[in-house]
Chains A and B, each alone.
Chain A
Amino acid sequence: MKSSVITFPGSNCDRDMDVALTKFGFKNKMVWHDDNELPKSDLVVLPGGFSYGDYLRCGSMASKSKIMQSVINFAKSGGLVMGICNGFQILVETGLVPGVLLRNKYLEFICKNVFIKLDNKDNPYFKNLDKDVFEFHIAHNEGNYFCTQDQLKEIEDNNQVAIYYCNNKGQTEDQFNPNGSIKNIAGIFNKEKNVLGMMPHPERMIDQSLSGEDGSLFFKNLINNIK
């Protein structure tokens, strides 16, 4: 399976994502933001970091970069595009997924493990996973997901919520919401479910010496789903 990770000048989780994808069997290529064409890929990943410094709205400049036109076309033709953290911020800026990401509710960067709950498995990312609650890691300053009530209704009607913040039992009360996201939303699909944006970093949870191993389950399953 072929994957491509886009490197923007300020990406800093690109290597981590490369390590994770390669570990679980992807043939991964790093693609420079200033390139025009995507290599042939089964999966395109927009990694975490600070794409262009993010002194403006996070991800807004990256969404207009050269390679993004190819990424958008790839997504619109049904290709799998996953944006993690800054990648999620870029995705909302392109409009591929709805909503916006505001500064965290307490105006502080948060780096810690969180639990997330999958909302539905009828998609290429989560299909066949045999549990619903995962422990992932977050590290962000602007992960406070927001959308209008109309958008929210549409998102929910279309089953576009990918994951919610929760506790280890899968309860999604407000106290388990780390950043103030509306309805504890941690990740969103596009309508067709081929584009996934999420704040948590599965690539930081890929062996037992790190923060945990739930990321391994995610990637192993993902490559099997794509095969």
Chain B
Amino acid sequence: MLVNEKVAIEHGLKADEYKKICELLKRTPNLIELGIFSAMWNEHCSYKSSRLHLKKLPTSGKKVIQGPGENAGVIDIEDGDAIVFKIESHNHPSFIEPYQGAATGVGGIMRDVFTMGARPIANLNSIHFGSPQHKKTKNLLRGVVHGIGGYGNCMGVPTIAGQTSFDSSYNGNILVNAMTLGLVKKNKIFYSKAAGLNKPVIYVGSKTGRDGIHGASMASASFDEKIEEKKPTVQVGDPFTEKLLLEACLELMAGDSIIAIQDMGAAGLTSSSIEMASKGNLGIEINLNKVPCRESKMTPYEIMLSESQERMLIVLENGKEEMAKKIFDKWNLDFAVIGKTTNSKNIELFFDNEQVANIPVNTLVENSPMYDRKWKKAKLPKKNKIKKETYSKLKIKDVLKKILSNPNVCSKEWIWQQYDHTVMGDTIQKPGGNSGVVRVHGTNKAVAASVDSSAVYCWAHPLTGGKQVVAESWRNLISVGATPIAITNCLNFGSPENEENMGEFVECVHGIGEASKYLNFPVVSGNVSFYNQTKEVGIKPTPSIGGVGLIKDYKKMVTMNFKEKDNLVLVIGKTEGHIDQSIFARTILDEKNGPPPEVNLFNEKNNGESLLNLIDKDYIKSAHDVSLGGIIIAISKMSIKGNKGIKLNKSKNLMNEIDYLFAEDQGRYVIEVKKKDLKDVIKILEKNSVHHEELGFITEKDIIINEKTKVTIDELKSYNTNWLNNYMSS
């Protein structure tokens, strides 16, 4: 096929991008080369609209071993151990084919982690669906959950936490973000930077098929009514092969024969070979006839652009081929020497003894387009004035029932019961808590991880929303007694070519950066997913933040279930009665305007660190951060989990009771302490100027809010658990 501007545009490139390619090459590219450019220069791989802004994120710190730019981030957890982690989106494929889309999302992120030499020890996910009433939602949810489970369960990696939300802005574009944590020895981390000349380039894993061709390009475009036709661009997962690949790679990594290793993810063989060459400032030569293919007569174009799963590319030390091959033979995996490193600084492809492509590596990477897209700043919305009489009609019990059973608040047990969350025998905090926690096998340490997003806040005011998500992640880690270390972010937005969507992106990133800098909670990895939109309508801005923290002595871990009758319950952090953008305002009052709650980073840091101090001194019997739904929802969940009630004090606050209970002010935690410890606890809080209020004491059963309102534990449970079960079985 003759290459011209029209063909380039069909490949998702812009006219001026095509012009730039011709200038860089000083000639017209052939079709294979054009395919390679389109794969490397699409939004998904090149970050062309986001790079400029991502540069501003804080990415270093005392505990950071590797920040963004590698397969995943790496942090130090002491004693020579390190945690490798990253979150990644698989939104577009999951909408087209929910099972395979979600499954390969999980497979892809695990590969990113074990490519670096780490054994995956925990999976998390953040999944977002359209309105429950939308005709596609139920099947998408079922398919995604089956896909995540199908892959993670087979790999034998526990899925320890997650987040699920429903919002009509996802009707045409669901979000599936998968996160993996892996454990590695600090001195055994593997990177993707090739080094040395004439080193063999090895292909291992599954055979290359015709699935997923142009997957990354598909993920860099908006959807329209013909989206079903894109099904062939969705990859097909084979978790069993990935399990073999994991074990084989770790076996090979135990030795010292690997120079560089890179998984074949988005844009397959193309991006993996080019990344390795680019980082090593080398050239690479590949004989495509040597690539193990699943189907006969695959063309060089198809081989280079296939996104078949479960494949890796390795640059090996000379002379280690036989030894390495034996390991892959043992695990029944393909192993082929397909090329070598060169000093040409070009990627040169050969097929049937002919050179079929020859591109300078730097044109694909350093010279890839970078855009300073136009963006619109969002104004902070004005506060709503809610009329007092609106409240007088409301009964607290009815409101509590409605909110506890709201799809975004209710128990997600139906989902996480389908994920193996206990395999590997180290899960000490299961899904459904503040964070998932796994022990570092064979030690007293444990790692906590959480994944959060608050699209509603980000939509109302992106800057505040960006800060809030980081703060919430921080709180979720602290609530289990973990010291927060670092985050990974998955930035899900609409089209960057739309000024408002781009503005949401820029300001969310700004907010994330500000909070992570202040909290010393750097961003070590992540990805950007733009074009989550159908025709002109984009999703609510949804940055997902995956936070990781360390518990030095896992016996000090805190859980959220109320523990003991007569213990006292306090809230720390100030309740100002912020109702705008709360779930109460949005669902009970049907009020969708107003600003999100303000994030005061000084208070976040001070309150969080003070709570960690109290946990370290063993004063805290249970803890839960206050987020969606306010104090009363936090308390309800602690009651449900602990099977205990609470008698709330009459509020000394002049605030309206509903405002007090349902407000979503930030920087707050509900904590349980023993009566005898109260004095000491208050002393520490006051010394640190942490605002605190006594809420009440724990009882055998029932939540007693005031003289008129009593809710039994069974009622709470049924409000909280019925909705999702009924929805999925109807």
Contact = CB atoms under 8 A, between A and B. Distances in A.
Nearest to A204: B422
Interface string A93-135: 0000000000000001111100000000000000000000000
A171 B385 CA distance: 56
Given A50-B243, A209-B554, A108 B423 contact: no
A214 interface: no
Contacts of B243: 9-10, 12, 50
Contact of B425 (A49, A55, A109, A203): A203
Nearest to B555: A209
B425 A10 contact: no
Contacts of A48: 423
Contacts of A182: none
Interface stretch (B150-158, B191-199, B367-375, B510-518): B150-158
Contact of A109 (B332, B418, B427, B430): B418
A50 B419 contact: no
A9 B241 CA distance: 9
Given A12-B155, A12-B156, A52 B240 contact: yes
Contacts, number: 85
B597 interface: no
A109 B146 CA distance: 8
A211 interface: yes
Interface string A38-68: 0000000000111011110000000000000
Interface in B231-251: 238-241, 243-244, 247
A213 interface: no
Interface of A is mostly: loop
Interface in A172-204: 201, 203-204
Contact of B332 (A9, A49, A137): A9
A204 B430 CA distance: 13
Interface stretch (A13-21, A146-154, A155-163, A218-226): A13-21
Nearest to B333: A9
A139 B428 contact: no
Contact of B240 (A15, A34, A55, A209): A55
B422 A111 contact: yes
A52 B241 CA distance: 9
Interface in A1-39: 9-10, 12-13, 15-16, 19-20, 34
Nearest to B244: A9
A206 B425 contact: yes
A187 B425 CA distance: 22
Nearest to B248: A9
Contacts of B420: 109, 111, 139
Contacts of A141: 153
B422 A108 contact: no
A20 B330 CA distance: 27
Contacts of B554: 209
Contacts of A204: 422-423, 425
B671 to A, nearest CB: 21
A111 B155 contact: no
Contacts of A111: 153, 416-422
Contacts of A201: 422
User: Which of B150, B239, B419, B422 gathers the greatest number of chain A CB atoms within 10 Å?
Assistant: B422
Nearest to A14: B156
Nearest to B142: A108
Contacts of B421: 111
Given A139-B422, A209-B554, A50 B239 contact: yes
Interface of A: 9-10, 12-13, 15-16, 19-20, 34, 48-50, 52-55, 108-112, 137, 139, 141, 201, 203-204, 206, 209-211
Q: Give me the 6 closest cross-chain CB pairs, A-B, nearest first.
A: A12-B156, A53-B240, A16-B425, A209-B428, A139-B420, A50-B154
26 contacts: A9-B240, A9-B331, A9-B332, A10-B240, A10-B243, A13-B423, A16-B424, A19-B425, A50-B156, A50-B239, A53-B238, A53-B240, A110-B417, A111-B417, A112-B417, A137-B422, A139-B420, A139-B422, A141-B153, A204-B422, A209-B554, A210-B422, A210-B425, A210-B427, A211-B422, A211-B430
